[in-house]
Structure 1
Amino acid sequence: MIRLSGDTSMPGPLRVAKALRRTALQAVPTVLIIVILNFFLLRLAPGDAAEVMAGEAGSATAETLAALRNRFGLDLPVLQQLADYLWTLAHFSLGDSPRYNMPVAALIGQRLPNTLALMALALGLALVIGIALGALMASFVGRLPDRVLSVLALLFYSIPSFWIGLMLIVLFSVKLGWLPSGGAESIGAGYTGWEAFVDRLRFMVLPGLSLALFYVAIYARLTRGDMLEVRAQDYVRTAQAKGLPPFAVTTRHVLRNALLPVTTMAGIHLGGLMGGAVVVETVYSWPGLGRLAYEAVMGRDFNVLLGILLLSSLLVVAVNALIDLFQAWLDPRIEVR
């Protein structure tokens, strides 16, 4: 949490250490409550991993189901299952996956880099494109560029990401043949070094763009409104009166202060990016946590789902702490609490 403060005398490292300590103290009970709520909510879903696995094997007898439930501890009372899971977490383990027959941490570790790379690309595209479009809209407020870009932003905000993804596949993969329609890399190509990086980037462009366009619309509108509000402040008129070039006034005074709400929203949207990745990764067959979460839901693999939800919670807490520190750097009057 942040608030304005007139005291900026505390050295930077001390402010950072104070903020990180408070964030850690707040994060522990928050994450614990999230884990418990997720555990009980998932138990409300019909079926379990034993039923799915027995049905897929074609041997869904009462004896088989009982044996599977006993093997995975699904026949225990819910409170005892919760206590066992919390005890497992206390030993820095996420348990085992009944469906994949491997530790959940190892399974998540295989998919996590792909999702983080996709989320970083999507968030970077959304911020760069959204801020640039918002600044352009604010510069031509009330004129044709502002109106055209406002309509485009409204379209991106209204259209579902899966439909955008399908249309991008039709245009860039089917019609033009410029980009691949799915997967993570060219199978059997054997690329290394720079060629491997470029190859993976080609596969990331369409899913990253599909995930980013919704947030581009939000950041563009938010940047436009904040820049118009900041432009009316006294210190901006003072900078203009001193004879500073318009570009310097816009970048140093207007845009820098207008970025505060945008960065706040970016931290809030991180959880939404993870949720949107479920749809986008399924459309593009991207081997990430979103697709793993979908497979875990279909297979009732609750241990995997709990691990993904726990990781998402920790990621949101960490990024919001970094956003608070970034805002304090943008405006030294802001005190991180």
Structure 2
Amino acid sequence: MRFFRQLLSRVLQALALVLAVVVLNFILVHAAPGDPVETIAGVSGGMSPELMAQLRLQYGLDKPLYVQLAVYMGKVLSGDLGYSYFFNLPVASLIGERVPATLLLVLGAVLSAFVMGTTLGVLSARKPNGVLSQFITVLSMVGFAAPVFWMGIMLVILFASVFPILPVAGMRSIDSSGGGIADVLDVLHHLVLPTFTLGLVYLAQYSRLSRAAMLDVLGADFIRTARAKGLADRVVLYKHALRNALLPVVTVLGLQFGNVMAGAILVETVFNWPGLGRLAFESVLRRDYPTILGVLLFASIVVVVMNQVTDMVYRLIDPRINAQ
């Protein structure tokens, strides 16, 4: 019963947080300079004042902001994210089409950065003054300092001009068959550079964090006791030390998922990856309010869910949390 009460409390808190984010996003988006109708008129090559007034009436932009917010909240609660001003399609369908590409990119970047960063951190902590540790430290600092967009542009130049061995744009080749193993391999081939670009910064952070956590845990009393019992170094390192050192890494992983989603906007723009980041970028340029708000809502839900998943992973890694 206690578990269900905690679960219900977390769900209610998550819903309240998402609703608060929806309201804040709506106010900030509409407070930004620019007019969607004027943008549409500019794209179409001009528009009469009467037609512009008709569009404002059609989109509800002629009403006060608080009325627009009330109407939008009512639609969101009913599951309706509205219609895109520019694409003239339901926002929900636009997001649904782009979600798989973004999830593939983000999850690939996060998981690869987590696994590789933690591995490098553990290797670095085994001999903190060794050559390998110093090399990993320098590599981590370079990855941490390099901006995502700059790294993406450099990789495009490198693999488009100098060594043209990897695709630098899109998700599939023009001659892709659209099915089978060949199509899967083609998508993975296009995924290499965007994943590496997005994951490099987080790989550097995870390696530094896991190294510090491992050094702290390796100096603990229970590690000395395990070694005094004659346990193999591999068992002490990976079974006892790593499990405790993973807690801060998992914390950062869960909290930074929103940053990864934000970084995906830059990466998808550089590599023309057909995901939510690219959709958000195009929508901002065109003042497409419903699409912007829909993407922000989806990102908010993902971040809230990931925070809850992080808490559950905590309980799997450290059973002591379940006893509290």
| Alignment TM-score, normalising by the size of structure 2 | 0.96
Equivalent residue, structure 1, for 2:173: 186
Select the residue among 81, 87, 94 that pairs with 2:74: 87
Amino acid at match of 2:15: V
Equivalent residue, structure 2, for 1:245: 232
Preserved contact between residue 176 and residue 186 of structure 2 (Cα < 8 Å): no
Residues 302 and 191 (structure 1), Cα distance of their counterparts in 2 relative to 1, 3 Å cut: closer
Equivalent residue, structure 1, for 2:141: 154
Preserved contact between residue 134 and residue 223 of structure 1 (Cα < 8 Å): yes
In structure 2, the gaps of 5 or more residues are none
Once the 2 structures are TM-superposed, how far is the Cα of residue 336 of structure 1 from its aligned partner?
9.1
Specify the SS of the correspondent of 1:185: coil
Equivalent residue, structure 2, for 1:261: 248
Residues 73 and 201 (structure 1), Cα distance of their counterparts in 2 relative to 1, 3 Å cut: same
Once the 2 structures are TM-superposed, how far is the Cα of residue 191 of structure 1 from its aligned partner?
4.6
Equivalent residue, structure 2, for 1:96: 83
Q: In the aligned structure 1, how far is the partner of 2:5 from the partner of 2:153?
A: 46
Amino acid at match of 1:272: N
Aligned residues: 324
Amino acid at match of 1:278: I
Q: In the aligned structure 2, how far is the partner of 1:328 from the partner of 1:218?
A: 23
Equivalent residue, structure 2, for 1:121: 108
Greater RCO, CA 8 A, separation 6+: 1
Equivalent residue, structure 2, for 1:306: 293
Amino acid at match of 1:33: A
1:170 correspondence with 2:163:
no
Residues 154 and 295 (structure 1), Cα distance of their counterparts in 2 relative to 1, 3 Å cut: same
1:283 correspondence with 2:270:
yes
Superposition RMSD in Å: 1.6
Preserved contact between residue 285 and residue 291 of structure 1 (Cα < 8 Å): yes
1:317 correspondence with 2:308:
no
Specify the SS of the correspondent of 2:117: helix
| Deviation digits for residues 15-58 of structure 1 (CA, Å, limit 9, x no counterpart) | 5x555433211111111111111111111111222111011112
Amino acid at match of 1:229: D
Equivalent residue, structure 2, for 1:35: 22
Amino acid at match of 1:176: F
| Alignment TM-score, normalising by the size of structure 1 | 0.93
1:25 correspondence with 2:30:
no
Once the 2 structures are TM-superposed, how far is the Cα of residue 63 of structure 1 from its aligned partner?
2.2
Q: In the aligned structure 2, how far is the partner of 1:336 from the partner of 1:153?
A: 37
Residues 167 and 336 (structure 1), Cα distance of their counterparts in 2 relative to 1, 3 Å cut: farther
Preserved contact between residue 325 and residue 336 of structure 1 (Cα < 8 Å): no
Once the 2 structures are TM-superposed, how far is the Cα of residue 222 of structure 1 from its aligned partner?
0.3
Preserved contact between residue 49 and residue 301 of structure 1 (Cα < 8 Å): yes
Q: In the aligned structure 2, how far is the partner of 1:23 from the partner of 1:219?
A: 28
**Within 5 A, what are the aligned runs for 1:189-268?**
189-268=176-255
Once the 2 structures are TM-superposed, how far is the Cα of residue 102 of structure 1 from its aligned partner?
1.0
Greater Cα shift, 72-81 or 174-183 = 174-183
1:56 correspondence with 2:35:
no
Once the 2 structures are TM-superposed, how far is the Cα of residue 135 of structure 1 from its aligned partner?
0.7
Preserved contact between residue 20 and residue 321 of structure 1 (Cα < 8 Å): no
Once the 2 structures are TM-superposed, how far is the Cα of residue 60 of structure 1 from its aligned partner?
3.7
In structure 1, the gaps of 5 or more residues are 1-9
Select the residue among 82, 93, 99 that pairs with 1:106: 93
